[in-house]
């Protein structure tokens, strides 16, 4: 009898573990889709590819669906399995990460919409903007990819290395903004298109912010340390302590 | 004996109810602080009051502390009380709302930083920007206040009335942006300060987005309906159904 109970308990635990790893898989799938959305959106803008921009708009719906689906799974798992400690942390961490992924998707959508609105007006200095956008996008997408990778391995130490170790994105962003302002001042006819480039840069900077949030959620998920308002130094210390 | 057990259970339920209403109280307290932060930040910018801007920066820490504290309470309540159905929804709704409040605080902080950086450069057309910022801020802060009010009463129907019923914020924002672009084109010397005004407008628009998220979390909390990706029409229908 006791043996049977143990068997049932073991079965429940196994099932729960499977559900948790399915949850992470779904999160990574959503992450992959969102990464593609940012990539496509940037490419559509840089190459003035309105067809690709429209595809990004259409896929936005899929991102939203995944958002709702994963969130429901989180609620269902908490309600049914009543997890504590690390399992609960994992589920809540996933729930928060989904929100950031969804907002990265939003920014991709905004960039795609810029492509469509730019298609209707003549470009000035488009080339300058393109290289700036490409440059910043490379950094941001690369960081997103690294964090998703770390998520797949639930590796918080790797995350600390990636997160906040450099201010590159911020510096690139500020430099690009300054350059666009210079262009505007030198040739006021470029103001409108330069502004569009600036909005795209701003969106990419936002993506970078959300990637940082993802890193923080992952550290919380794995280590149980809330590092959202810590400096890099505090963050390293806190993660070491655990 | 059975009576004693019932007493204990009743006591636990009462205690849990108290904890839940404390949680809402803390959320509303954070909401009040964040509302004040936006108000102060806008006032600091419009009146070039660097002292007030510095105060906003200092209070930002308090917002962050409340964020972490409420989030911890949510995790603790889930782990200890293992709530299901509506109680779980309430806690998860609060946890998400806290994230949006924290980001509204971030935007207030950004506006305050603009005040400080503007204090170091001469203003051009500052008056035009001021009235635009004031105008948009009035709408946004008013909507935030209404949603917090609805939260205090856990009134989803009221929320539906407030949320998405008008496109006023978006229209005001777009009109203000267009006006600033016109100023930039007419007088390229105004580009730099006009951009600062535009960043402030953008921050306020973001606050409006987060206020909309808050409304959606509240509807989810009270009605259990996820309305995040619904149109206004769908939203009204869904809330009616429940």
Rounded to an integer, the average pLDDT of A138-157 is 88
Mutate to test the interface with A, among B71, B86, B114, B174 (most CBs of A within 10 A): B71
**What residue spans define the domains of chain A?**
2-241
> For position A136, what pLDDT does the model report?
92
Chain A CB within 8 Å of residue B72 CB = yes
- Name the average pLDDT for chain A: 85
- Determine the Cα–Cα distance for residues B53 and B43; give it in Å rounded to an integer: 9
Question: What φ, ψ does residue A226 adopt, rounded to 5°?
Answer: -85, 110
> For position B52, what pLDDT does the model report?
97
Chain B CB within 8 Å of residue A182 CB = no
Q: pLDDT tens digits for A75-112?
A: 999 988 888 778 888 899 999 999 999 999 999 999 99
> For position B117, what pLDDT does the model report?
84
Which residues from B are below 8 Å from A212, CB to CB?
none
- pLDDT over threshold 70, residue A218: yes
- Name which of A72, A191, A229 is nearest B68 (Cβ-Cβ): A229
Output A162 or B203, whichever has higher pLDDT: B203
Chain A CB within 8 Å of residue B64 CB = yes
The pLDDT-based confidence of A40 (bands split at 50, 70, 90) is very high
The ipTM (two decimal places) reads 0.81
- Determine the Cα–Cα distance for residues B77 and B74; give it in Å rounded to an integer: 5
Which residues from A are below 8 Å from B85, CB to CB?
79
What CATH architecture is A2-241? Up-down Bundle (1.20)
Print the SS3 string covering chain A: CHHHHHHHHHHHHHHHHHHHHHHHHHHHHHHHHHHHHHHHHHHHHHCCCHHHHHHHHHHHHHHHHHHHHHHHHHHHHHHHHCCCHHHHHHHHHHHHHHHHHHHHHHHHHHHHHHHHHHCCCCCCCHHHHHHHHHHHHHHHHHHHHHHHHHHHCCCHHHHHHHCCCCCHHHHHHHHHHHHHHHHHHHCHHHHHHHHHHHHHHHHHHHHHHHHHHHHHHHHHHHHCCCCCCCCHHHHHHHHHHC
Chain B CB within 8 Å of residue A124 CB = no
- Determine the Cα–Cα distance for residues A105 and A110; give it in Å rounded to an integer: 9
Structure tokens given for A138: 């490379």
Q: How many CB atoms lie within 10 A of CB B11?
A: 10
Output the tens digit of pLDDT for each of chain B's 242 residues.
567 767 776 777 788 888 988 999 999 999 999 999 999 999 999 998 999 999 999 999 999 999 999 999 999 999 888 887 788 988 999 999 999 999 999 999 999 999 988 877 665 545 667 888 998 999 999 999 999 998 888 887 777 777 654 577 888 888 888 888 888 888 888 888 888 889 999 999 999 989 988 988 888 887 766 666 666 566 666 666 65
Structure tokens given for B199: 């960043």
- Determine the Cα–Cα distance for residues A172 and A38; give it in Å rounded to an integer: 18
- Determine the Cα–Cα distance for residues B110 and A142; give it in Å rounded to an integer: 26
Q: Are B35 and B146 in contact (CB under 8 A)?
A: no
**SS3 call for B83:** coil
Packing angle of the helix pair B191-223, B168-186 (nearest 10 deg): 170
Chain A CB within 8 Å of residue B192 CB = yes
- pLDDT over threshold 90, residue A39: yes
- Determine the Cα–Cα distance for residues A153 and A174; give it in Å rounded to an integer: 33
The pLDDT-based confidence of A196 (bands split at 50, 70, 90) is confident
Looking at A15-19, A50-54, B90-94, which range is the least confident one? A15-19
The pLDDT-based confidence of A242 (bands split at 50, 70, 90) is low
- Determine the Cα–Cα distance for residues B90 and A67; give it in Å rounded to an integer: 19
Chain B CB within 8 Å of residue A95 CB = yes
> For position B159, what pLDDT does the model report?
72
Nearest chain B Cα distance for residue A154, angstroms: 20
Which residue does chain A place closest to B178, by CA atoms? Answer: A192
> For position A5, what pLDDT does the model report?
66
- Is the Cβ pair B78, A67 closer than 8 Å? no
């Amino acid at each position: 009898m006791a043996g049977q109970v143990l068997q049932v308990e073991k079965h429940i635990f196994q099932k729960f573990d499977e559900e948790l790893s399915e949850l992470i898989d779904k999160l990574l799938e959503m992450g992959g889709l969102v990464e593609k959305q940012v990539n496509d959106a940037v490419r559509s803008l840089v190459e003035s590819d309105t067809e690709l921009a429209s595809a990004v708009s259409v896929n936005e719906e899929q991102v939203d669906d995944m958002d709702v689906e994963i969130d429901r799974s989180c609620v269902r798992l908490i309600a049914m399995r009543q997890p504590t400690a690390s399992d609960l942390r994992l589920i809540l961490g996933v729930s928060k990460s989904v929100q950031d992924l969804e907002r990265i998707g939003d920014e991709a959508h905004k960039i795609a919409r810029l492509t469509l609105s730019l298609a209707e007006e003549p470009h000035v200095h488009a080339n300058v903007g393109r290289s700036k956008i490409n440059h910043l996008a490379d950094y941001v997408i690369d960081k997103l990819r690294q964090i998703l990778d770390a998520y797949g391995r639930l590796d918080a130490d790797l995350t600390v290395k990636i997160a906040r170790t450099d201010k590159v994105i911020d510096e690139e962003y500020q430099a690009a903004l300054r350059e666009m302002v210079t262009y505007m001042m030198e040739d006021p006819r470029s103001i409108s298109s330069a502004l569009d480039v600036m909005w795209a840069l701003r969106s990419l900077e936002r993506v970078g912010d959300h990637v940082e949030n993802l890193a923080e959620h992952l550290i919380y998920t794995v280590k149980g340390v809330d590092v959202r308002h810590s400096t890099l130094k505090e963050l390293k210390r806190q993660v070491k302590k655990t």
